[in-house]
Chain A
Amino acid sequence: MNHNSENPHRSYLKMYVFSLLFLAAQIVFFYYLMKHYT
């Protein structure tokens, strides 16, 4: 399936899932910083 014919709802969903995963990754990073240096 090429990019143009992709279901727009699916690309919206990807954007939201990416945003959540990015937040989760940041929280894991902060946890690492806190544990590693404290």
Chain B
Amino acid sequence: MSIPDWTVLIGTLLFIVVYGAWKNRKQRSLTDYMRGSDQASWWAMGLSVMATQASAITFLSTPGQAYSDGMRFLQFYFGLPLAMIVLSVFFIPAFYRLKVFTAYEFLETRFGLPTRLLAAFLFLVQRGLAAGITIYAPGIILSTLLGWPLAATNIFIGMLVIAYTVSGGSAAVSQTQKQQMAVMMGGMVVAGVMVIQMLPPDIGLQGAMHIAGQTGKLNLLNFDFDLNDRYNIWSGMTAAFFLFMAYFGTDQSQVQRYLGGRSMRQSQMGLMMNGLLKVPMQFMILMIGVLVFVFYQFNQPPVFFNEQLLSQVRQSEDSPRLSKLEYEYSGLFAEKQEEIYRLKEAAMAGNPEAIAHHRDRVMNLLDQEHDMRTEVKDLVKNTSSRAETNDKDYIFMRFVMDYLPIGLVGLLFAVMFSAAMSSTSSELNALGTTTTIDVYKRTINPAETEAHYVSSTKWFTLGWGLLAILFAMVASLFENLIQAVNLLGSLFYGSILGIFLVAFFVRYVGGRAVFIAALLAEAAVLAIHWLNASDLATGWLKMSYLWYNVVGCLLVVVLGVVVQSLLPKSSHVSSE
């Protein structure tokens, strides 16, 4: 990167961090520190909720996913607006009525302490590990692209986040997220405009859309119902709806973002803003990926997008084989480019026979290109058996580094770092808060001053931050662990959501019954996952992990009622 790019990157990040920490340096009460003095407006909360969900992986991976797989991922988000309505109607009023600091506090008033502690414990374990991955996942990509050591990148991201999250608490997190969202959205819009402008003049946006459509990239809707496929409209509307209810309604890293509103109405509007803007935002990011795909039909892409691994192959004994593949790849590119032009002409003229003919040719050439890339990936694997051969996370930033003008490269890196920081800060803020409110203050040391709890929350936040950095540093040693952490959310979310739904809708079920039901449901979800992971699942038990959210949730509700009816009459009275 050039000096102006470094200036833009470092300047943007430092401004956000220093301003956020300085502006919110005086936090005296728990309400100040954990809910930002209850002063947040609806749009600030809406931005904060969106910034928390938008991690660096959202911006790094999503365009690459559209590049290789089309836009079908968008359907995953269709359940989100529906989930926002349910949360606004049922969850937010309950949280506001009790003026809670954490979602799990609410559970004690309805079911007693054990259920609250169970939910808080599951959150701390899952989110504590996930915070490490939130730093590690972009860290490994950004360190490769910038040529930094991985450890230094992890420490850089982690320490910047710790600086303002510890000192300024929830208000600092929300404050910085406003600016981070502005950088993220601004950077992506500029990147989108640039890629459209860089398309050949005789192609333009209209031609690009035809090429994208004919090559299967505009696969926006799939109406076929399949439990094993995450990306169809039914999975999006149902399974993802449960996932989003669990994530936004029971995960403290999200709940804390909208608990500090000026009024309940403001919090509800903040969530609804998220519901309105999320699908268009994902559409934009995916569309940028599709446009980058079209751009690379007229500008030869690298045969493998992770330049660092490719140069390792160049220095290995496989170098001649790589050179031969790259030569063939260039020949194929030229042939494909001509065919793409013909396909675009046929599509714009609306000639079905010519479209079918040229589309078959183009798809055949794309298949050949895919095969060549697979061969290159084999060479990468030969050189380093531990190397990650999936290069889709590098596609977008490789494009940015190779083609965007000076200044914008730095801005797009600022987008990625901002996204990593915005998610991590919410996580650390929530981990510190839950540790203090649900564990330390509730069970260990209940009779201290507000100042003491503010100070302990700062120490807990710092501890979780350091733990996240440490986990990010060792994550690369345990590849299976990373996959396990990514899965952890889906394994536990269903049961936790079930507990909350029973609390709201099934008054008959008390604390002991729901606790037993949650443990049974969790055991069932783990069993179903084990069957699917070992390829032993058959029939309706064969499902994508997204459906675990539905199964876990419904099992808690049904088993809660069953267990309650089996318990002696005296335990029918809830602890409320």
Q: Does A1 contact B (CB under 8 A)?
A: no
**Those of B216-237 within 8 Å (CB) of chain A:** 216, 218-221, 233
Structural contact, B269 and A15, CB atoms closer than 8 A = yes
Q: Complex Cα distance A23/B219, Å?
A: 18
CB within 8 Å for A12 and B214 given contacts A19-B85, A19-B276, A26-B280: no
Structural contact, B84 and A19, CB atoms closer than 8 A = yes
CB within 8 Å for A34 and B85 given contacts A23-B78, A26-B279, A27-B78: no
Which residues of the other chain, B, contact A31 by a CB distance below 8 angstroms?
220-221
Structural contact, A30 and B276, CB atoms closer than 8 A = no
Q: Complex Cα distance A33/B283, Å?
A: 12
Name the contact of B220 in the complex, choosing from A12, A23, A30 (C-beta under 8 A): A30
Structural contact, A19 and B78, CB atoms closer than 8 A = no
Structural contact, B280 and A33, CB atoms closer than 8 A = no
Q: Does B88 contact A (CB under 8 A)?
A: yes
**Those of B390-435 within 8 Å (CB) of chain A:** none
Q: Complex Cα distance A15/B276, Å?
A: 10
Structural contact, A15 and B272, CB atoms closer than 8 A = yes
**Those of A17-32 within 8 Å (CB) of chain B:** 19-20, 22-23, 26-27, 30-31
Structural contact, B214 and A23, CB atoms closer than 8 A = no
Q: Does B510 contact A (CB under 8 A)?
A: no
Q: Does A10 contact B (CB under 8 A)?
A: no
Q: Does B275 contact A (CB under 8 A)?
A: yes
Structural contact, B275 and A37, CB atoms closer than 8 A = no
CB within 8 Å for A22 and B276 given contacts A27-B78, A33-B220, A37-B209: yes
CB within 8 Å for A30 and B74 given contacts A37-B209, A37-B218: yes
Structural contact, A34 and B220, CB atoms closer than 8 A = yes
**Those of B234-279 within 8 Å (CB) of chain A:** 265, 268-269, 272, 275-276, 279
Structural contact, B78 and A34, CB atoms closer than 8 A = no
**Those of B69-84 within 8 Å (CB) of chain A:** 74, 78, 81-82, 84
- B-side interface residues, number (CB < 8 Å): 29
Q: Does A36 contact B (CB under 8 A)?
A: yes
CB within 8 Å for A27 and B221 given contacts A19-B81, A19-B272, A22-B81: yes
**Those of B268-302 within 8 Å (CB) of chain A:** 268-269, 272, 275-276, 279-280, 283
Name the contact of A34 in the complex, choosing from B221, B265, B269 (C-beta under 8 A): B221
Q: Does B210 contact A (CB under 8 A)?
A: yes
Which residues of the other chain, B, contact A22 by a CB distance below 8 angstroms?
81, 276
Structural contact, B210 and A37, CB atoms closer than 8 A = yes
Which residues of the other chain, B, contact A27 by a CB distance below 8 angstroms?
78, 221, 233
Q: Complex Cα distance A8/B218, Å?
A: 41
Which residues of the other chain, B, contact A8 by a CB distance below 8 angstroms?
265
Which residues of the other chain, B, contact A2 by a CB distance below 8 angstroms?
none
Which residues of the other chain, B, contact A33 by a CB distance below 8 angstroms?
209, 213, 218, 220
Q: Complex Cα distance A30/B212, Å?
A: 14
Which residues of the other chain, A, contact B265 by a CB distance below 8 angstroms?
8
Q: Complex Cα distance A8/B275, Å?
A: 20
Cβ proximity bits B334-352 to A, threshold 8 Å, 1 near / 0 not: 0000000000000100000
CB within 8 Å for A34 and B213 given contacts A19-B81, A23-B78: yes
Which residues of the other chain, A, contact B88 by a CB distance below 8 angstroms?
12, 16
Structural contact, B213 and A38, CB atoms closer than 8 A = yes
Name the contact of B279 in the complex, choosing from A15, A23, A34 (C-beta under 8 A): A23
Binding site for A on B (CB under 8 A): 74, 78, 81-82, 84-85, 88-89, 209-210, 212-214, 216, 218-221, 233, 265, 268-269, 272, 275-276, 279-280, 283, 347
Interchain residue pairs with CB less than 8 A apart (19) = A12-B88, A19-B81, A19-B85, A19-B275, A20-B85, A22-B81, A23-B279, A26-B279, A27-B221, A27-B233, A30-B74, A30-B221, A31-B220, A33-B209, A34-B213, A34-B221, A36-B213, A37-B218, A38-B218
